[in-house]
Each structure stands twice: as C-alpha cells, then as structure tokens.
Amino acid sequence: MSLKHKQLSRNFNYLLLDYKNKYYLNMNKTDLLIGFIIGIIASILGMFLYITLVTDNDFIIGLQLMKNEGNLGKIVTLGSILDLIVFGVLLKMNKELMARGVVLAVIALTITTLFL
C-alpha cells in the first residue's frame, strides 16, 4: 500500500469511529430520557394507586385534599416506591442509563415537591 492509501484508510477509520461515538452518545441521551419518563410515569401511577385504593376520593380531588392538608410530599414519597421497583428491574436488565433516568426523575419530583 502506498502512503496515500494508508492515510486515506486511517482518515476513513477516524470518521467511522466519530460517527459511532456520536450514535452512541445520542443513544445514551435517549436512554436517559426514556428512564426519566418511565420514572415520572411510575411515580404518578404509584400516587394514583395510593389515593384511589386508600382514600375514598378520586385522584384529582385526593391530590387537592392532600395538598391542602400539607401531605403532598408524603403522597409523592409513597408514589416513588414504584420507582424503586422499576429501578431494580432496569438494573437487572442491564439498562444502567435508564435506571439513572429513573433516579433523575425521583430527584426532579423531590425538588418540585419542595416548591409546591
């Protein structure tokens, strides 16, 4: 092989590696976002189950009552128990970035609850 061919081959390999790195970086962001959305949905589902099964109220009315009584943070905490289960399942499936997204969702819900 001539020197020109070696340089072209090396440049092509660098371009190919750069493309793969960008693809995996976007995939990582997507997995994190999917995990975040799963975490939010699991928390809302947990809150829904708690309010509808334990109290005699509908979900929206129950949320309003709990907020007026100052118990909204406790409801969000109880709803986050499902996030713990989802986190464990995602780790078992070797989806670490999605599991990080679930943790990020719990942190975001905690901060949001502090300001409500």
Q: Tell me: the pLDDT tens digits for 9-27? A: 555 555 555 555 554 555 6
Is 93 within the bounds of a domain? yes
**Given CA atoms 40, 43, 48, 68 in this order, what sign does their dihedral have?**
negative
- Give the C-alpha separation, 110 to 103, whole Å: 11
18 falls within a domain: no
Residue 104 falls within a domain, yes or no? Answer: yes
Q: Which domain holds residue 68?
A: 29-115
pLDDT cut 90: percent of the chain above it = 37
Please indicate, yes or no, if residue 45 is contained in any of the structural domains. yes
Structural domain contains residue 24: no
In a domain, 53, yes or no: yes
3-state helix, strand, coil in the chain (%, to 5): 90, 0, 10
Residue 6 lies in a domain: no
Structural domain tally of the chain? 1
pLDDT tens, 94-111? 989 999 999 999 999 989
34 and 101 Cβ atoms separated by less than 8 Å: yes
pTM for the model: 0.73
